[in-house]
């Protein structure tokens, strides 16, 4: 291949890197999702933003980061074709439309966009996964499971006209499946654990075993038990599965080859995952606060830390940034304080303390995107 052809191919690949579009969109959704509460407190919007906030945070913020990661990483993990323009801009457009409908408080149309963006991402993944003869590692079985649970949540939310199904199954369960599945390989690597395998490396331990299937079934059954039988039993089961994953798959108590701020942040994030479930078990009146500990200190912090590795690796940067970055330290501190502060706010929806939590979250998000801009500019 000539230098010109190689340069053109490299340029095309750079233009089509999905994370470069989805990560900034996710940050925008996160900012807008929490700013809605400020607008509500100052009476600049007339509608109660609970549903719009939840949809923006799950299917705007977290979903955009998930899509950016999966559409960038899965082709490399499976040695298949990179995302093309249609595959990128279809779900991207759906997210943008969803944001518009959320701001207009048009939930039915936002729901349609959420369905379409997930279908677009699912078929993108299906086209690649069906071409490979052997999965890179066992955690890949969580991808179709995550989308199955997501679809069930969408259907149940539509049938029963109850957004709790959407947030519990299509939101929380979807994200949890991907974290516990793909994170089983990603988190040890990013944490620099001994003998941690890269996601695209094949080993004798890659095969799906009975323990993996049991783990997957119990994890997802816990959500349906929580909804239909008993809330605390469902949470308790999930806590057991999370504890098992933290010890066996994430290797949280093992000593890393090198201590890094990102590695510490991942451990703290997993600790807040654990804490949120314990809170739900001990005090049901603090369920809303516990959920926000999970979302802010768990999902959001872990998402930004993994996304940091993505932008460093694909941006041609040294991974030394992960070791002692002051930027990452500040993000870690701000999100931990924000998550714990949201716990003490409790069920309040308007207060000075809640506004403080919002501001801390926003500062953390803006600090993270500043590194993204620095790398990509």
3-class secondary-structure state, position 69: helix
Tokens of 67: 């899509």
Dihedral angle over CA of 146, 302, 168, 35, nearest 10: -130
User: Which residues are within 8 A (CB) of 98 and not within 5 positions of it... i.e. 6 or more apart?
Assistant: 55, 59, 60, 110, 113, 114, 117
165-207 tens-digit pLDDT: 999 999 999 999 999 999 998 999 999 999 887 766 665 566 7
Listed residue (30, 20, 135, 28) closest to 71, CA to CA: 20
Contacts 24+ apart (CB under 8 A), 326-333: 327/367, 327/368, 327/370, 327/371, 328/261, 328/262, 328/265, 329/261, 330/364, 330/367, 331/265, 331/301, 331/304, 331/364, 331/367, 331/368, 332/261, 332/264, 332/265, 332/268, 332/301
Taking residues 228-252, what's their average pLDDT?
Answer: 95
Listed residue (96, 90, 125, 126) closest to 109, CA to CA: 96
Is 60 exceeded by the pLDDT of residue 8?
A: no
Which run of H or E residues covers position 224? Answer: helix 210-228
Is 50 exceeded by the pLDDT of residue 62?
A: yes
Is 80 exceeded by the pLDDT of residue 266?
A: yes
pLDDT at 114: 97
Is 50 exceeded by the pLDDT of residue 4?
A: no
Please state, rounded to an integer, the average pLDDT across all residues of the chain: 90
Tokens of 231: 């809330």
Tokens of 168: 């519990």
pLDDT at 13: 46
pLDDT at 194: 92
3-class secondary-structure state, position 136: coil
Q: SS3 for 50-65, per residue?
A: HHHHHHHHHHHHHHHH
DSSP 45: S
Phi-psi group of 2: left, alpha or beta (phi > 0 → left; psi -120 to 50 → alpha; rest → beta): beta
Q: Where are the domains of the chain?
A: 135-200+208-257
Listed residue (250, 282, 289) closest to 269, CA to CA: 250
Taking residues 290-296, what's their average pLDDT?
Answer: 93
CA angle 266, 267, 272 (to 5 degrees): 95
Share of the chain above pLDDT 90, in %: 75
pLDDT at 203: 59
- pLDDT-derived band at 137 (thresholds 50, 70, 90) equals confident
């Amino acid at each position: 291949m000539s230098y010109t052809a190689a340069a053109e191919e490299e340029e095309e690949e750079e233009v089509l890197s999905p994370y470069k579009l989805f990560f900034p969109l996710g940050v925008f959704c996160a900012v807008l999702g929490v700013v809605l509460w400020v607008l509500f407190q100052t009476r600049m919007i007339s509608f109660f933003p609970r549903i719009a906030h939840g949809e923006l945070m799950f299917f705007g913020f977290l979903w955009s980061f998930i899509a950016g990661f999966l559409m960038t990483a899965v082709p490399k993990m499976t040695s298949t074709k990179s995302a093309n323009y249609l595959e990128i801009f279809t779900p991207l457009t759906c997210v943008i439309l969803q944001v518009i409908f959320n701001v207009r408080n048009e939930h039915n149309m936002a729901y349609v966009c959420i369905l379409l963006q997930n279908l677009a991402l699912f078929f993108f993944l299906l086209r690649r996964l069906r071409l490979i003869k052997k999965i890179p590692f066992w955690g890949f079985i969580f991808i179709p499971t995550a989308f199955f649970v997501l679809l069930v949540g969408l259907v149940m939310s539509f049938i029963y006209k109850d957004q709790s199904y959407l947030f519990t199954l299509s939101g929380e369960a979807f994200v949890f499946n991907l974290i516990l599945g793909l994170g089983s390989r990603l988190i040890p690597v990013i944490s620099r654990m001994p003998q941690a395998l890269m996601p695209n490396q094949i080993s004798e331990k890659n095969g799906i075993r009975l323990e993996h299937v049991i783990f997957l079934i119990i994890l997802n059954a816990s959500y349906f038990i929580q909804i239909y039988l008993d809330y605390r039993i469902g949470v308790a089961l999930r806590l057991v599965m999370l504890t098992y994953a933290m010890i066996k798959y994430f290797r949280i108590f093992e000593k890393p080859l090198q201590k890094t701020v990102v590695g510490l942040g991942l451990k703290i994030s997993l600790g807040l995952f654990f804490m949120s479930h314990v809170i739900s078990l001990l005090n049901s009146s603090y369920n809303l606060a516990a959920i926000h500990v999970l979302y802010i200190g768990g999902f959001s912090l872990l998402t930004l830390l993994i996304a940091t590795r993505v932008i460093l690796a694909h941006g041609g940067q040294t991974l030394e940034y992960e070791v002692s970055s002051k930027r990452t330290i500040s993000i870690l501190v701000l999100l931990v304080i924000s998550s714990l502060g949201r716990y003490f706010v409790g069920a309040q929806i308007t207060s000075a303390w809640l506004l403080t939590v919002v501001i801390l979250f926003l500062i953390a998000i803006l600090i993270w995107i500043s590194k993204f801009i620095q790398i990509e500019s």
